[in-house]
Structure 1
Amino acid sequence: MAQPETDDEDAILYPAERPKAFIDAVVAIAMTLLILPLMESVADTAQSEGSALDWLTEHNWQLTSFLLSFALIAMFWFGHQRMFSDVERVSPRLLWLTMPWLVSIVWLPVATALSGRMPSADSLTRIIYIGSMVFTALATMAVRLFLLRHHDDFGDLSVPMLRRGLSVDIATSLLFAAALGLSLLVPPLGYAALFLMFAVGPVSFVVRRMMPRGKA
């Protein structure tokens, strides 16, 4: 008796060029949107006949949050570029798994605008801002785990490189979560807790040593 054919959507693979270009475009738009709150604040200062020094004095944290978020999106994008550098084909499941990562990148300009306008002592704002980065790091990890599990399907992917990237993802997620917890437990510290991210290298090294050895 013949078995019915199965409609496995994930058996359909598409060239990766267009998805990569789409991802790059979304990231570029998100990075551009970061500047909009600053443009509005410049217009407000000009309408009140303030000077450039007034604007710099009154909106110094807004400017700082812009630069910080720009650097963080760039960091996430560099990581994603390295992860997808050898991806030649994509499946519907891989594309859908990438969507939460893109949502988190698009959301970051909103979280940045909140952190730039709200008092730094507002714990909910810190949860939204740093929590967004925790989510992005976890979304990156989910995509990398999927690629690691199905590396033969999407191109000539290096398992050792994926495993090395996974250790960075784990370290990044842990340090962002630690920074969030520290900023809530020690309110005066505020966003300075993000300086923990400088420890990504050493922490990822420790994580990599603790990871079980897989097949190369």
Structure 2
Amino acid sequence: MEEAARTRDDTQPLPSAERLKAFTDAVVAIAMTLLILPLMESVSDAGTGKAPVAEWFVEEWPALVAFALSFVLIANFWLVHHRLFAKVERVDTPLLWLTVLWMFTIVWMPVATAITTAFAEDTIQLVVYIGTLTVTSAVLSLTRLYLARHPGLHDEPPGAMRDEIVGGWIVTGLFVVALIVSIVVPVVSYAALLLLALRPVVQKVVLRIRA
């Protein structure tokens, strides 16, 4: 009896699953909005100097590409996280902190994106940007793994969860490969992220081997 009461007291301060999902959505929305701030400052500076609009687009195209890429990547991470948590019904402490860690990586993305255009490209810049994406993906994979080992927190079928775990680690692995390629072959740079397009092929091969 006392142990049950203590358990209830320990879990009582934790947010509900729905509240955690709503908070996560808000954090992602703010992070995606922050991506545009460097471009807004650039527009203001160009307007003050009376520079032609065409000139601004020519000068800022790397920042525009970085903004679009990060926006799409964060949106994709959010969609994956949304699908993962769609059937989560309860939250415990480890799951809460895994989610907080994932949100931390998402909030850091606008900074990593700004670094790609504010400084000359070097190895550290690649590590910061692609490394952030790798950590974000890895935390999602760890979250899937934790949920798979704690079925009482969700109502996802075991088979479906296993497939998602495989797919998640494949994406994380491709981010790691992209990071290595971008460092070893500097001329490739951020184009190494195109390796993520191999995910369906790699996942099909892995699942076939497992079967």
Normalising to structure 2: TM-score of the pair? Answer: 0.91
Is residue 146 of structure 1 aligned with residue 141 of structure 2? no
Which string of whole-angstrom CA distances, capped at 9 and with x for unpartnered residues, describes residues 91-113 of structure 1? Answer: 12211121111100000010000
Which string of whole-angstrom CA distances, capped at 9 and with x for unpartnered residues, describes residues 35-80 of structure 1? Answer: 0011011111112221111111111010000000000001111111
Matches within 5 A, 1:6-155: 7-8=6-7, 9=10, 15-120=16-121, 122-151=122-151, 153-155=152-154
Counterpart Cα distance in 2 of 1:17 and 1:4: 29
Give the conservation status (yes or no) of the 8 Å contact 2:179–2:192.
yes
In structure 2, give the amino acid aligned to 1:193. Answer: A
Long gaps (5+) in structure 1: none
In structure 1, the residue matched to 2:179 is 180
- Report the count of equivalent residues: 208
Give the conservation status (yes or no) of the 8 Å contact 1:87–1:156.
yes
Counterpart Cα distance in 1 of 2:201 and 2:13: 40
Secondary structure of the structure 1 residue equivalent to 2:114:
helix
Long gaps (5+) in structure 2: none
Normalising to structure 1: TM-score of the pair? Answer: 0.89
Counterpart Cα distance in 2 of 1:14 and 1:22: 10
- Inter-CA distance 125–205: structure 2 relative to 1 (3 Å threshold): same
- Inter-CA distance 10–161: structure 2 relative to 1 (3 Å threshold): farther
Aligned-residue Cα RMSD (Å) equals: 2.0
Q: CA deviation at 1:209?
A: 3.6
Q: CA deviation at 1:15?
A: 3.2
Give the conservation status (yes or no) of the 8 Å contact 1:108–1:132.
yes
In structure 2, give the amino acid aligned to 1:102. Answer: M
Secondary structure of the structure 1 residue equivalent to 2:65:
helix
Q: CA deviation at 1:119?
A: 2.3
In structure 2, give the amino acid aligned to 1:131. Answer: G
Give the conservation status (yes or no) of the 8 Å contact 2:147–2:154.
no
Give the structure with the higher percent helix.
2
